[in-house]
Each structure stands twice: as C-alpha cells, then as structure tokens.
Amino acid sequence: MITFRDSLNKRMENESFRKAYENIQPEMDIIRAIVKVRKEQHITQAELAARTGINQGDISRLERGTRNPSLNMLKKLAGGLGLQLKIEFLPKAPQN
C-alpha cells in the first residue's frame, strides 16, 4: 500500500511540483494552525463565526483552502480564538 507520504515524496522529485508545493506552504501553515486551535478548543465554525463576526461560510472556505484571509480576518480569527496574531519574516532555508 502506498502512503500519502510515499506519494508526496515521489511527486516532490518533480521540480515544478516541488516549487508549487513549497509556494503554498505559508497558506497551509495558517490553515492548519486555525483548524488545530479551533478543534483543541472544541469550537465549531459557527461558534467561531459568532465570536468574530466572520461569516461561517468564509471560515469554511478558508479551512478548505479556497479563500485567502486578509490581515484583518486573521486578526479577528486570532481574537475569536483567544490568541494574538504574530507574523514573522524568517530567513529562507538553504536549497539543496
């Protein structure tokens, strides 16, 4: 049986796929962080929407990766989750 990781590793050998995959990682990191905290707090999308004033459909689209959040939206989400938003610029990892 081929695992997701095996399949991904194979596809990462293709340079154009690897570059596209790496380009979406910041967005995927944001999505994973929001979903992780929301689930840890046992908050539904509807509850988060009520806390933030963000439409539940927009939260759903964000979590599915079909909507990119604005900085204002990220601030509202952080506040609704009882967190503060911190954005960093970090050095790029060395290319192999």
pLDDT of 24-79, one tens digit each? 888 999 999 999 999 999 999 999 999 999 999 999 999 999 999 999 999 999 99
Crossing angle of helices 25-40 and 15-23, in 10° steps, is 50
- Whether residue 14 is predicted with pLDDT greater than 80 in this model: the reply is yes
Query: Domain-by-domain residue ranges, the chain?
Result: 13-80
Cα–Cα distance, 67 to 63 (Å, whole number): 8
Query: Does the 13-80 domain belong in CATH 1.10.260.40?
Result: yes
Token output for 52? 């933030």
Query: Residue 22: what pLDDT?
Result: 87
Cα–Cα distance, 87 to 29 (Å, whole number): 12
Query: Residue 60: what pLDDT?
Result: 97
- Whether residue 96 is predicted with pLDDT greater than 70 in this model: the reply is no
Q: Is the pTM of this model over 0.85?
A: no
Query: Residue 38: what pLDDT?
Result: 97
Token output for 65? 């990766």
